[in-house]
Structure 1
Amino acid sequence: MAMRRGGLTVVGAAAGVLALGTAGTAWAGNADLEMHGSAVLVGDLVEVGVTPRNHGPDTVTGASVRLTSSAALADTQHLPGGCARTGDREVVCDTGPLAVEVPGERLVVPVRLRDRPEEMTLKVDVVWGGGAVDQDRTNDEQRVLVLATGDPYAF
């Protein structure tokens, strides 16, 4: 199921899988998607910056990235358009279109945590690739340990 937020479509992992298997869905080509960025933890706020990239060979009309925290999220979130909370520790965001070998629009996602952890682990992974077949799934997931130092930790 797709959700509309801020004019963008956010697609969860299950919806992406269903869309791929739907009769009449056009083949969207091949793409190699990856996400890189950084995370900063201060108090109960972790600010995540993600830059999506498509190594091709085909363009992608849109993809979704999932941010999974080892720390529980606060009940109230003020997420940017195109992002939605999908679980106790998860947020999914739409990347928008991704051209080949051109960095996508940088996503900046402030996420409130329930507590003030001294550290947390953040997993960033591609959960839907716009219907394209990703021939190299080895770069679809990144993990980073983020300490509550106010310093950026890269992934």
Structure 2
Amino acid sequence: MESAAAETAAAAAMAMAMAMAVVLGMGGAAAAAPGNGAVAGAAGGIAPEADVSHHGHVSLWGSGLGVWVQSVNYGPSNLADVTVRVRTSVSLSRRQELPEGCLQADRLTVLCRTGALRTDEAEGRQLALELQLAGWPDEVVVRVDTLWNGGATDRNPQNNDHEVLALATGDEYVF
């Protein structure tokens, strides 16, 4: 019995030592301390923490779909770049005139770079897309979210992941 208890204690001590070695190998316990905007990453590094937020509106008229997005970073860490993904429930036309930093990834998806998002920029970055749809739908579902944020941890993804139904009225549907 004593042998089994000793083996369990030794295994627990070994696991604790390995865990401490991993944390120390990632820059020390102080680097991952709460409040400094970084959390320990599973890949062996320190991931910054940032709260990216996307808000805006969508409007559908004929075969045109307007998507206006304001992206803001509430911090605590600055981000070098963010990629916003806009997905539609209706196929896009093959010919899109997209702003610089945007590309059509597939028949339903457009990806756009925001550029740097600093925590002290209240206005963030503005994105305006005028997309052409393959037909004249009565409605379209538009999904806006963050595809990439430089590997930062976002503990509040609810403010950057949106889905909105737009009817073909020309009205603005806010997200």
Query: 2:132 matched to 1:125?
Result: no
**Does the CA contact (< 8 Å) of 2:88 and 2:109 recur in 1?**
yes
1:35 equivalent in alignment to 2:69: no
From 80, 83, 87, give the equivalent of 2:99: 80
Check whether the contact 1:28–1:60 (CA below 8 A) recurs between aligned residues. Answer: no
Higher relative contact order (CA 8 A, sep 6+): 1
Larger Rg: 2
Q: In structure 2, the residue corresponding to 1:32 is in which secondary structure? A: strand
User: Aligned runs of 1:90-105 on 2, under 5 Å?
Assistant: 90-100=109-119, 102-105=122-125
Show structure 1 runs of 4+ deviating over 3 A: 20-23
Work out which of the residue numbers 106, 109, 134 in structure 2 matches 1:114.
134
Q: Which has the higher strand share?
A: 1
Identity rate, percent: 36
How many residues are matched?
A: 134
Letter of the structure 2 residue corresponding to residue 119 of structure 1: E
Report what 2:163 is aligned to: 143
Unaligned 5+ residue runs, structure 1? 1-19
CA distance in 1, matches of 2:85, 2:67: 11
- The amino acid that maps onto 1:60 is L
How many angstroms does 1:118 deviate by?
Answer: 0.8
* Aligned-residue CA RMSD (Å): 2.0
User: Which of the two has greater helix per residue?
Assistant: 2
Where in structure 2 are there 5+ consecutive unaligned residues?
A: 1-40
**Secondary structure, aligned partner of 1:97:** coil
Aligned-partner residue type, residue 75 of structure 1: R
Q: TM-score, normalization: structure 1?
A: 0.79
The yes-or-no answer on 1:44 pairing with 2:63 is yes
CA distance, structure 2, for counterparts of residue 57 and residue 91 of structure 1: 28
97-106 or 59-68: bigger deviation = 97-106
Aligned to 1:11: none
Change in 2 beyond 3 A, CA 1:65/1:114: same
Deviation at 1:100, TM superposition (A): 1.2
Pair 78,37 (structure 1): closer, same or farther in 2 beyond 3 Å? same
